[in-house]
């Protein structure tokens, strides 16, 4: 018989080995880094709560055959604090899948949290999540892409299938992209009237309520927890260099900020975008210009519902490639708030920012 119990410090080496076996595609992580990171994220995080532990599943003989990481987060609903638990690194030994995964997830969802979420589930994990009463958030599961070098970006999408054609056409495509970017009437013409500077933790906290949409559900940060989160996010080297930018208008007023992983010669992934409602287009304009100047072919992200109009106006493409946002709560109002877009949530509020995730939509 299998049993589920809280994850403890002594379990780290065995869970790291399980992670290496189950997630073999994350070869950029050494076993030492997996051990260190598991401890940092699930045992040393600033929101750690004994009542919301990560979980392991033991088979007979004490062999760990399953794990579900739990990261508590602080959020508010209509101004009142609630407990949120983010599920991450849901993994089960191949020969124990089925009941073991179901047992782990049911134990997690029966915890004392008000809301359970994840944004990095595989297709199989999403199926189990829904089987035990969870659901997806259609709005937060939409992804978008803004081509910056449209011809080379399109070529990159087919390069895996036709590598010879991609190598041959590359120089010509670069020339076409350079011409398109300099045509004022082109939808791919990039410029900005704003300025940017390095974003600090204090700047985020100072503007958090001003730039957070007026949503019923919203994350709550303090300096220590936000500093920890950004330091861990910077370790996600497989996604590129984390760029943190504060944006000012021509009058030197702060109008917003953004976080994204720069991938030169590829698609750069956005972690979070914030700004004054009337200035969101200018914040996006600065983001796209910054990424283009640094050599990115495109910028992609997960939809923050309040950004939809500004993204559409900036010629972004919307699609469903990428992991869905899954939620579960015994309080129907919380689920409804997320599903109808009355929740200010970004990739910063889930598990996507973790070094475990590959970061590509």
Question: Which two structure tokens, joined as six digits, stand for 266?
Answer: 């590829």
- Give 212-221 pLDDT, tens digit per residue: 778 899 999 9
Least confident of 8-12, 13-17, 96-100: 96-100
**303 inside domain:** yes
**330 inside domain:** no
| Total of domains in the chain | 2
Please indicate, yes or no, whether residues 16 and 95 belong to a single structural domain of this protein.
Answer: yes
CA–CA gap between residue 353 and residue 28 (Å, rounded):
16
Q: What is the pTM of this model?
A: 0.91
Contact 235, 33 (CB under 8 A): no
* Sequence-distant (≥ 6) Cβ neighbours of residue 269 within 8 angstroms: 239, 240, 260, 261, 263, 299, 300, 301, 359, 360, 361
**255 inside domain:** yes
- Give 188-202 pLDDT, tens digit per residue: 888 899 999 999 999
pLDDT of residue 162: 59
Residue 301: other Cβ atoms inside 10 A:
26
Q: Which structural domain range is residue 105 located in?
A: 3-136
**208 inside domain:** yes
Question: Which two structure tokens, joined as six digits, stand for 47?
Answer: 């929101």
Greater model confidence, 174 or 285: 285
CA–CA gap between residue 64 and residue 344 (Å, rounded):
36
**284 inside domain:** yes
Across residues 322-337, what is the average pLDDT? Answer: 94
Please indicate, yes or no, whether residues 7 and 132 belong to a single structural domain of this protein.
Answer: yes
Q: What CATH number is attached to the domain comprising 117?
A: 3.40.630.30
Three-state SS for 42?
Answer: helix
Q: Which residue is listed with tokens 């990171």?
A: 37
Residue 209 pLDDT more than 90?
A: no
Contact 105, 129 (CB under 8 A): yes
* Sequence-distant (≥ 6) Cβ neighbours of residue 353 within 8 angstroms: 229, 232, 233, 236, 271, 347
pLDDT of residue 212: 79
pLDDT of residue 361: 38
Contact 262, 294 (CB under 8 A): yes
**36 inside domain:** yes
Across residues 79-90, what is the average pLDDT? Answer: 96
- Give 133-171 pLDDT, tens digit per residue: 999 999 999 999 999 998 888 888 876 665 665 566 767
Residue 120 pLDDT more than 80?
A: yes
**164 inside domain:** no
Residue 185: other Cβ atoms inside 10 A:
5
**57 inside domain:** yes
The H or E element containing residue 228 is helix 223-233
């Amino acid at each position: 018989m299998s049993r589920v119990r809280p994850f403890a410090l002594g379990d780290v080496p065995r869970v790291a080995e399980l992670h290496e076996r189950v997630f073999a595609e994350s070869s950029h992580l050494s076993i030492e880094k997996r051990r260190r990171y598991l401890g940092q994220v699930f045992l040393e995080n600033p929101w750690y709560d004994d009542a919301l532990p990560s979980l392991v599943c033991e088979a007979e003989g004490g062999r760990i055959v399953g794990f579900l990481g739990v990261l508590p987060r602080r959020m508010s609903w209509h101004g009142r604090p609630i407990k949120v638990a983010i599920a991450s690194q849901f993994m089960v030994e191949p020969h124990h899948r089925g009941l073991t995964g179901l047992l782990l997830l049911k134990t997690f969802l029966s915890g004392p949290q008000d809301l359970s979420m994840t944004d990095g589930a595989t297709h199989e994990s999403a199926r189990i999540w829904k089987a035990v009463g969870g659901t997806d958030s259609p709005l937060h599961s939409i992804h978008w892409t803004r081509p910056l070098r449209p011809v080379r970006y399109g070529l990159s999408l087919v390069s895996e299938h036709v590598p010879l054609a991609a190598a041959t056409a590359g120089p010509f495509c670069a020339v076409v992209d350079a011409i398109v970017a300099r045509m004022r009437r082109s939808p791919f013409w990039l410029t900005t009237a704003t300025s940017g500077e390095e974003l600090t933790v204090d700047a985020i906290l100072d503007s958090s309520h001003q730039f957070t949409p007026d949503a019923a559900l919203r994350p709550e940060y303090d300096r220590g927890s936000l500093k920890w989160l950004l330091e861990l996010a910077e370790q996600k080297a497989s996604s590129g260099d984390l760029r943190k930018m504060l944006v000012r208008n021509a009058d030197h007023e702060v109008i917003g900020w953004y976080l994204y992983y720069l991938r030169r010669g590829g698609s750069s992934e956005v972690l979070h975008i914030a700004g004054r409602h009337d200035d969101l287009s200018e914040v996006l304009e600065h983001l796209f210009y910054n990424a283009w100047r640094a050599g990115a072919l495109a910028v992609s992200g997960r939809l923050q519902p309040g950004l939809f109009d500004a993204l559409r106006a900036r010629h972004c493409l919307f699609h469903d490639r990428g992991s869905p946002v899954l939620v579960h709560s015994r309080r129907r109002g919380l689920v409804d708030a997320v599903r109808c877009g009355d929740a200010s949530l970004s990739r910063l509020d889930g598990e996507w920012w973790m070094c475990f995730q590959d970061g590509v939509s």
